[in-house]
């Protein structure tokens, strides 16, 4: 697992990332991966309701993000990582709810754009997506 950890940390230092996930990843690769795991979890669950086939791709991306978390996590960081994941999942879930259950079309579109950007920031952290 040490070589994967070295590869992940080295790769992150060379990636040009954008957005909040990028900021979290530059502060701490673990935090960036945990935040994105939460976001992708929220997107996957939303897609189960509204875009079944889309959830399969998101599930694969989430699985890759979980592997990245596992590659860089240190003993004792589990509760902190879980907190980051839960907070990110909750935040994106609320945003996605605004896209689907909203009486204001402008607000729904804004929420859709924001959610899309946040998920795209995470997808850009993955090779091959």
Every domain of the chain and the residues it spans: 2-123
Give yes or no for residue 18 having a pLDDT over 50. no
Residue 69 pLDDT greater than 70, yes or no: yes
For residue 106, pLDDT over 80 is answered with yes
- What is the sign, positive or negative, of the torsion defined by CA atoms of 26, 80, 88, 53? positive
Q: Looking at residue 1, what is its pLDDT?
A: 47
Phi-psi region of 53 (alpha: psi -120 to 50; beta: other; left: phi over 0): alpha
Taking each continuous run of H as one helix and of E as one strand, the counts in the chain are 6, 0
Predicted confidence band of residue 27 (pLDDT cuts 50, 70, 90): low
pTM of the model: 0.78
User: pLDDT grade, residue 22 (50/70/90)?
Assistant: low
| Structural contact between residues 35 and 88, judged by C-beta atoms closer than 8 angstroms | yes
Scored b (16 or more CB within 10 A) or e, 10-30 reads: eebeeeebeebbbebbeebbb
- pLDDT at residue number 13: 37
Q: How far apart are CA 21 and CA 61, in angstroms?
A: 15
CA separation (Å) from 41 to 50, 57, 78, 82, 90?
14, 12, 17, 12, 10
Mean pLDDT for the stretch of residues 104-121: 96
pLDDT level of residue 84 (50, 70, 90 thresholds): very high
What's the pLDDT at 10? 39
């Amino acid at each position: 697992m040490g070589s994967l950890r070295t590869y992940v940390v080295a790769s992150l230092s060379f990636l040009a990332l954008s957005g909040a996930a990028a900021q979290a990843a530059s502060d701490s690769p673990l935090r960036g991966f945990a935040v994105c795991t939460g976001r992708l979890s929220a997107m996957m669950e939303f897609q189960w309701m509204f875009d079944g086939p889309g959830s399969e791709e998101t599930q694969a991306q989430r699985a890759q993000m979980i592997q990245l978390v596992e590659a860089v996590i240190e003993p004792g960081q589990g509760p902190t990582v879980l907190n980051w994941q839960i907070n990110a999942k909750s935040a994106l879930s609320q945003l996605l709810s605004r896209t689907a259950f909203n009486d204001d079309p402008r607000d729904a579109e804004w929420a859709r754009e924001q959610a899309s950007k946040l998920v795209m920031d995470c997808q850009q952290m993955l090779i091959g997506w």
